Amino acid sequence: MGVHPVHAAVTTPYVQKLIAVRARQVVRQPGFRRSDQADVEQELVVHILKEAHLFDPARSCTRTFIAQVVDSAVATILRDRRRKKRAGGHRLQSLDGTTLLNEGEEKPLLDVLSDEDLHRRHGTHGASDEERGNVSADTATVLSRLAPDLREIAHLLMEGAQELTIAQALGISRRQVRNAVTSIGEHLNDAGLTKI
């Protein structure tokens, strides 16, 4: 008996890149850290292997099947993380209340909350300097690989220029600007730099 086609496909460069890109997109979501990427990649592989028995070569090719399984797994991972975040078990406190510090001093709770507490409350996480640096470096790499006209439009967008302003400045139509923005977004998405 031969190797199952889905099992064989898991180690191909296409699937490895798909898993890496989707995991990178997941860890950029609220509630995750960049260090979670390897764990998310492993979860995606496990999900593919668990669902392999559902593969029907008459309905799709292995790549299509795996892409759909990965998308489903990503949605499951994100849903489970949100569910954990909403889970009870935390005692609510008023920000008007006070807390006792290590020195025995009592301070209003509002005065002792940190940015991390705020991010946790809103379901976001503040990117560290390293994470911001990595995203900037990744973005710069993607932009450097763009065609010169797309690169120029990307830089104008980053400076805050609007669609009409860009079209007028470059002497092109607004439709061409919109198409360029779509293309730039696809390049960024392929590199895992946009939200899911």
pLDDT at 88 over 60: no
pLDDT score, position 118: 66
Q: Tokens 């099992």 label which residue? A: 7
Please state, in angstroms and as integers, the Cα–Cα distance from residue 41 to each residue in 21, 26, 31, 37, 174, following that order.
Answer: 9, 10, 16, 6, 39
CA distance 40 to 46: 10
CB atoms within 10 A of CB 114: 9
pTM of the model: 0.46
Tell me the per-residue pLDDT of 47-75, one tens digit each, with 9 for 90 and over.
998 998 888 888 888 889 999 999 999 99
**Using an 8 Å Cβ cutoff, are 4 and 43 in contact?**
no
Structure tokens belonging to residue 179: 């198409």
Task: Tell me the fold of 143-190.
Answer: Arc Repressor Mutant, subunit A (1.10.10)
Specify the DSSP class assigned to residue 99.
E
CA distance 142 to 11: 25
> Partners of 106 in the beta sheet?
100
pLDDT bucket at 43, cuts 50 / 70 / 90 = very high
CATH-assigned architecture of domain 5-86:
Orthogonal Bundle (1.10)
Domain ranges of the chain: 5-86, 143-190
Percent of the residues in the chain that have a pLDDT greater than 90, as a whole number: 28
Percent of the residues in the chain that have a pLDDT greater than 70, as a whole number: 83
Please state, in angstroms and as integers, the Cα–Cα distance from residue 169 to each residue in 82, 152, 165, following that order.
Answer: 44, 11, 6
Q: Calculate the CA dihedral of residues 99, 103, 104, 109 and round it to 10 degrees.
A: -10
The average pLDDT across 166-187 equals: 91
Q: Which of 95, 85, 83 is nearest to 125 (CA)?
A: 85
| Amino acid, res. 10 | V
